[in-house]
Amino acid sequence: MAILGGTRIRHQVRAVPSPPGAVAGFARWVADQCPRDARVLNIGAGCNLSGAMTPVRRRAGVLVGVDPDSAIAHNTTLDERHCQTLEEYAATGPEPFDLAFSVFVLEHVHDPAAFTRASARVLRPGGVLMGMTVNMWHYFGLATWAATRAGVADRLLPHLRPRDQVEHYHFATEYRLNTIRAMLRHLEHAGFDAVEFRCWDLPSMYEPYLPVPVRGVAGLYNKAVYRFGSPHLMGHITFRATKGPGASSDG
């Protein structure tokens, strides 16, 4: 049993090669873990702008989406759409899911304890929660965290990304559930008993947010974290957490 930051939840942390496509690579992992004809919940499904989850759609018997953004109404990959927060949806007592996943959602979570409890509540005992998010201890994550806390993120972003992307796809970031330590603590308290972390670094995802003169830093950083085997410092965290057999589904 590994112990980190006072938690006793079983876990494994390792670096993996960066996928050629971030969302597509994660989708394949989710599909590999998805039982045939499973009930699956897409947390933060939106209108599927983060990438088509085709491999998951092929495996799932029922694919349900939940998102407080009304754009979820336009997500054609789903069998059911619920324009609610995960916490609100969990409180309705839905039929338990075999697997739930999120893509670039954790960086927006304001209350990690409530979010992870709701995640556990919608899963059957032994069910799986998977996610992909930005690592706060990476330079990109730290810069975003600092800009958000300083209240300047909304003013900076239009100078770094096309304005139409900022206006249509930008949501407030919190970075309260974006380190391995924080994830372990909250997942354990919510009733999960094992977590596998796969961390990777992909310079092409971070370079567009860097000033042109220093964009070469992304490639140098990438080489360093892989050379020294430092998954905790890589740009993205993906994980697979299993709900313990004795965990409550009552929240």
| Tens digit of each residue's pLDDT (9 = 90 or more) over 3-37 | 455 678 999 999 999 988 889 999 999 999 999 99
Helix (H) or strand (E) holding 64: strand 60-66
| Confidence (pLDDT) at 82 | 98
- What residues does each domain of the chain span? 10-243
| Tens digit of each residue's pLDDT (9 = 90 or more) over 2-11 | 445 567 899 9
Rounded distance between C-alpha atoms, residue 219 and residue 228, angstroms: 14
For residue 21, what are its two tokens? 């496509």
- Mean pLDDT in residue range 81-105: 97
CA distance to 57, 121, 160, 206, per residue, from 60 (Å) = 5, 20, 38, 32
Rounded distance between C-alpha atoms, residue 116 and residue 251, angstroms: 10
| Tens digit of each residue's pLDDT (9 = 90 or more) over 110-126 | 999 999 999 999 999 99
Binned at pLDDT 50, 70 and 90, residue 218 comes out as very high
pTM over 0.85: yes
| Tens digit of each residue's pLDDT (9 = 90 or more) over 39-69 | 999 999 998 765 678 999 999 999 999 999 9
- The sign of the CA dihedral 136, 139, 142, 143 is negative
Is domain 10-243 in CATH 3.40.190.10, yes or no? Answer: no
Rounded distance between C-alpha atoms, residue 34 and residue 220, angstroms: 36
